[in-house]
Chains A and B, each alone.
Chain A
Amino acid sequence: MRALRHLYSPIIDQNPITLQILGICSALAVTTSMTTSAVMAVALIAVLVISSLVISAIRRHIPNTIRLIVQITIIASLVIVADQLIQAFAFNVSQRLSIFVGLIVTNCLVLGRAEAFAMQNPPGPALLDALGNGLGYSLILLIVGFIRELLGAGTLFGFTVFVSIYDGGWFTPLNFMLLAPSAFFILGLLIWGIRTFRPAQIEPPDYKITIDPNRRAP
């Protein structure tokens, strides 16, 4: 049971996006719709799991001085395969994801787990850790994608949920939700919400505001 901790703890308690603030760039860029969020999530889980497994399996054979280069090479090869697969089987989605599948190479999450966990642990726990982190990332991506697509276009996975005023319905799409800043706000509110229920995640403040009772200034 203790081994399973690697699987479930990154889903909320050690969530890569809301606690470690990793992989923000893609979380902003691809979450305009559920379809792109889901494809991106699947691609990232696949790359993360396989790369962690491979790196963990050969961790004793990687020379320490060039370990980052070896890790990047493995991750980049997997990303190319994932990108080609998406282009082959879901060309429209690959057009909408544009460069962000390719940019999984530079996603801090993948390299971060390889460097921090897979290099020190055997393949079994490394696989669970990668899967857990991938699921935590996917969970946030899908939540943000759900809110943005539903409020920004009135659809989910491209299917109409709320009929917009342009088609004679009642729903006024919030154009703001389709712009990148909205993802920042949603992520911020999510982090706020999670930390309200899990106060252990709150960092100590860098500065404390104190008011001197004898201060004469306003």
Chain B
Amino acid sequence: MNVGIWHRNMVAWLLVAALLPAAAAVLVEQGGIAAARFGVALATLLFWQGVFMIVRAQPFSPIALVTAFAVSLLASGTTELWQIVLAASFGAVIGEQIFGGWGRNFIPAGVVAPAFLYFAFPEVSHAGTGALVTLALAPGALILLVTGILSWRVLVGALIGLVLLTMVFGHAPAAPFMQGSLIFGLIFLVGDPVCAASTRGGGWLYGALAGGLIALLGWADVGIGAPQAVVFAALLAAIFAPLIDAGIIAMTTKQWSPHNA
């Protein structure tokens, strides 16, 4: 097998590496309960990876670390750990494993699990994290951009959409950047290398859609500080990503036809 160093797990390990500073920042801000959520989520995810390893021979993937971190950060109000177990199981099985494991899913498990929590237990209120996490996310984002795991088109498109709509709603353009969980979602959930649009033009469109949705849901609905905004924006954008890609591919191949030559 001549696959080079850019194996699936290499990408996942780089994503994990990019998370480390942010993980430290979350630990400083939220303390032990965040670590407990992370541990429980990770154990659940590894359990399901093990089950699908035995039943379907789907290999383990370090992406569980990223998903567990997403759950622990975005479900900040959940103190009942069995709810985390339920959400992580749902995210891992329905969002990822039944499609054949990470790399074949079309919605990140880190989006499915928190979205399940928000729907299943609407009475729990979740809070975002502060600007410290945003700062800690910057070096990770840089690593992902340089290695090409995070498409710069998606990121720039999302930032344009987010800032533009923020200004339309009459808020300071810097306001979203004070929310650590929002920026985390922007980089790791919207910019997920598996589920984001993968064509060039599609990247711009998908990014702008996701960024615009974050601003729309954030300012007009749940509040920009609530993690719901970024999770539902990422969910909707990920559902549209294959359509966007298909449209771009159809337009491109149409241009190749001798009709226009």
Contact = CB atoms under 8 A, between A and B. Distances in A.
Verify that A and B bind, or say they do not.
yes
Interface of A: 172, 174-177, 179, 181, 185, 192, 209, 213-216, 218
Interface residues of B, number: 18
B197 to A, nearest CB: 18
Nearest to A166: B123
A179 B119 contact: yes
A213 B1 contact: yes
Given A185-B94, A213-B1, A218 B6 contact: yes
Contact of B121 (A172, A179, A215, A218): A172
B120 A218 contact: no
Q: Is the interface of A mostly helix, strand, loop or mixed?
A: loop
A98 B37 CA distance: 42
A213 B2 CA distance: 7
B7 interface: yes
Contact of B2 (A181, A192, A214): A214
Given A185-B94, A214-B2, A216-B2, A176 B8 contact: no
- Residue among A174, A209, A213, A215 with the most chain B CB within 10 A? A174
B4 interface: yes
A32 B7 CA distance: 45
A218 B94 contact: no
B3 A218 contact: yes
Choose among A176, A177, A216 the residue with the greatest number of B CB atoms under 10 Å from its CB.
Answer: A176
B122 interface: yes
Interface string B1-45: 111101110010000000000000000000000000000000000
Nearest to B82: A172
A176 B119 contact: yes
Nearest to A179: B119
B4 A175 contact: no
A175 B121 contact: yes
